[in-house]
Amino acid sequence: MSDSMEQLVREFERFPGIGPRQAKRFVYYLLATSAQARATLSTLVERVGEEVKQCALCQRFQSGGREMCSICADKSRDKTSLLLVEKDQDIIAIEKTHLYKGHYFVLGGVLTLSGKGVIREDFLVRLIKQKVKEGLSEIIMALSATSEGEHTSDYVRTLLAPYRTHVRISVLGRGLATGTELEYTDEQTLSGAILNRKEF
């Protein structure tokens, strides 16, 4: 393989979930496609970084050159609650439920048990200070139900301790996920399901 082929393979290997074999396949796909298609991709990769900026409040990526994203700018949303997620895509998942009407903050990652990972804690603390003044009453931690998600939730809780007098801090409830059979369900999930049982 040529130098630029090998360099391109290495760039694709950095993509999430992509190993050496698929990275190579991407390069052959690009070689087999038209010069036009490569130019389009090249331009978009460059342009997306210029057009898309992080929202000054929730830190999610958004285009249009505005300071705030559409949710943060929406005055009809409930200012008293803030829901913390790991990544931009999680907001889409929550919005689909049509159950949550408050604001969001994107942590931008999780903290691993081995001490790796970075979250946007300075932005978070600054935002919460401001939102407390504007009447914030609940922070919902909506992280993954994984050991890393729980570890990050624990860390954020410590970070938010000074605000507990004003703000209720909650986490998403545990319970049966769609498709779950009882026999294969772990104790923590089943405990949540029993405690969260509801009128039927």
Q: Which of residues 109-138 bind a second copy (CB under 8 A)?
A: none
- Asked if residue 175 lies in contact with residue 158, where contact means CB atoms within 8 angstroms, the answer is no
Q: Applying CB under 8 A, which of residues 19, 63, 73, 129 lies at the interface with a second copy?
A: 63
Cα–Cα distances (Å) from 7 to 11, 13, 155, 191, in that order, read 6, 10, 38, 51
Instruction: State residue 33 phi and psi, 5-degree precision.
Output: -80, 180
Which is nearer to a second copy, 80 or 100 (by Cβ)? Answer: 100
CB 199 to a second copy: min, Å: 6
Residue 49 interacts with a second copy (CB under 8 A): yes or no: yes
Q: Applying CB under 8 A, which of residues 94, 125, 132, 159 lies at the interface with a second copy?
A: 94
- Rounded Cα–Cα distance for residues 53 and 79 (Å): 23
Q: Applying CB under 8 A, which of residues 119, 140, 152, 167 lies at the interface with a second copy?
A: 140
Residue 108 interacts with a second copy (CB under 8 A): yes or no: yes
**How many CA atoms, within 13 angstroms, populate the side-chain half-sphere of residue 70?**
6
Q: Applying CB under 8 A, which of residues 46, 67, 74, 78 lies at the interface with a second copy?
A: 46
What is the DSSP pairing of strand 53-54 with strand 61-62?
antiparallel
CB 187 to a second copy: min, Å: 5
List the Cα angle 147/153/154 in 5-degree steps: 90
Which is nearer to a second copy, 3 or 122 (by Cβ)? Answer: 3
Residue 68 interacts with a second copy (CB under 8 A): yes or no: no
Question: CB burial class (10 A; 0-12, 13-18, 19+) of residue 64?
Answer: exposed
- Rounded Cα–Cα distance for residues 74 and 95 (Å): 14
CB 135 to a second copy: min, Å: 19
Which is nearer to a second copy, 112 or 146 (by Cβ)? Answer: 146
Which is nearer to a second copy, 57 or 143 (by Cβ)? Answer: 143
Number of shown-chain residues binding a second copy (CB under 8 A)? 99
